[in-house]
Amino acid sequence: MRTCTNCGAQFPDDELICPVCGHEVQLVPDYVTIESKIQEDKKRKEDEEQRRREEMEREQAIEKRKQQIRRKILLLIVLIAAAVAAVIITSVSLHLSKQHGSFAYQYEKAQSSYEIGDYDDALSYITKALKIDADNDDGLYLEAEIYAAQKKNSDAESVLEKLISGNGDYTRAYDLLIKLYTADRNSDAIRTLLKNCKNKKVLAKYENYLPKAPTITPEGGTYNDIQTITIESSDNGTIYYTTDDSKPDLSSSRYTGSFKLKEGTTTVKAIVVTDKGLTSETSSQEFSIELDTPSAPKITPESGTYTHLKGKSSSTESVSSSSGNDTNTDVTHITVTVPDGYTCYYAFDQTPTKSSNKYTKPVSMRQGEHIFYAVLCSKDGKLGKVASATYIYSVVTPTATPTPTATPTQEASNTYNPANVYNSETVATPTPTEAATPTATPTPEASSSTSSANSENREQTGSESTGKESDKAAEENTN
């Protein structure tokens, strides 16, 4: 559970905003917990109490020293008073020479002033002492302590670096220098210091001050699919990363779980910041993602002109294509072949996108002239080549087939031609005339010839009538 720093309300760890007051949760920890704060206060009080005791002891020591000096001075005065003037002059000369020309004297004065908190006088004395012996390790360390007490960390670090470069076994110098680097959050300087250190005791003491660079998986390279990036660290701390080739720091994105990379070239860099506030070296991997482009899908039927003739059946209807072939297949629907693992999007008269209609079943044609577009989308979300088909589609209702009229009954003497009746239209049958009284009886050959001629005339007349009616019916069907 989290505790809101604003109102004190508790809420789950995965919440980023306090549900009571709306205060935003601080993502980057300050590395200061309540327990550590209590320990720090306790440690500070103990340190203050220790400093007070030490200060009292120093004051007592100084006072004791002063008393001793006073006794010595009194004794010296007595001796001087009792001695000859030459002895007094010689003693004073030796004392003055010791004050101004001895490293030990200047160092002792610097140490005394530092212990009582008079850092300016302490710095003045130690500067004089180092002029006498510039490479004295104790003198350099005391100078660094004085600078650190004055909050001049940069000057103190410079002195300690000089001391360590001359004497790598001066352990106290490492302790103070790493303490100053840590206060300045200068992890790079700590890393350089310990990498160049040959002192095994120092390395063993500060082995946790060298966090390892985090591991980025998978390794960089060229890929044909979307990559999921995972960053891990063996050190206790927080991982920060960037994807724009910049160096990560505390203001960069905080790693909370794996993430995906988009198509293109991306450089992932990461660091880990330990609970002590130390920063590891930077890990870096470059990824080049080039997704395969899906091919254009197959659309059926092909582009063309389609005339839909409505029939009695709604499931199978007669359609005439521009090729002139009549079929009974239902091509009034457009079908797209979608391979496994792909998604298809379609649109009429415009290029489809991921926001267009998703193809899940055959699509009905639209009347008129329209262009049907379809495109495949891979599992990685990349759109492929666009396929299209142009359709000119119309729906026609055929006219009803005319019903022939009944054949009229005629007398035996009347001549009737069936071709005279078609499509509800009747051709008039000529009225037979009374037969004239023949003057002579015709011969059989003549009679047969006449009958044959009449029959040919009737057949010709019926054929012409039937041809006209057929042309008229075809014209009506076309209309």
- Domains, the chain: 48-208 (1.25.40.10), 215-289 (2.60.40.10), 298-396 (2.60.40), 415-430+449-479 (no CATH)
Label residue 30 by pLDDT band (50, 70, 90): low
3-state secondary structure of 475: helix
Label residue 113 by pLDDT band (50, 70, 90): very high
pLDDT at position 325: 45
Strand 326-327 to 357-358 pairing? unpaired
Could you tell me the two tokens for 252?
């960069």
Label residue 279 by pLDDT band (50, 70, 90): confident
Question: Of 367, 366, 327, 321, whose CA–CA distance to 347 is shortest?
Answer: 366
Question: Of 209, 149, 145, whose CA–CA distance to 182 is shortest?
Answer: 209
Neighbouring residues of 17: CB distance < 8 A, sequence distance ≥ 6 = 23, 24, 25
Residue 292 has pLDDT above 50, yes or no: yes
Label residue 467 by pLDDT band (50, 70, 90): very low
Residue 384 has pLDDT above 50, yes or no: yes
Q: Taking the CA of residue 85 as centre, how many other CA atoms within 13 Å lie in the half-sphere pointing to its CB?
A: 0
Quick count: other Cβ atoms within 10 Å of Cβ 268?
Answer: 22
Strand 221-223 to 298-300 pairing? unpaired
pLDDT above 70: percentage of residues in the chain: 72
Residue 478 Cα to chain centre, angstroms: 63
Residue 419 has pLDDT above 60, yes or no: no
Q: How far apart are CA 436 and CA 427, in angstroms?
A: 27
Q: How far apart are CA 344 and CA 359, in angstroms?
A: 5
Give the mean model confidence (pLDDT) for residues 334-363.
Answer: 94
Question: Phi, psi at residue 183, to the nearest 5°?
Answer: -65, -35
| pTM for the structure as a whole | 0.44
Could you tell me the two tokens for 437?
């009284």
The residues that bridge with 326 in the sheet, in sequence order, are: 320
**462 compared with 160, residue with greater pLDDT:** 160
pLDDT at position 402: 58
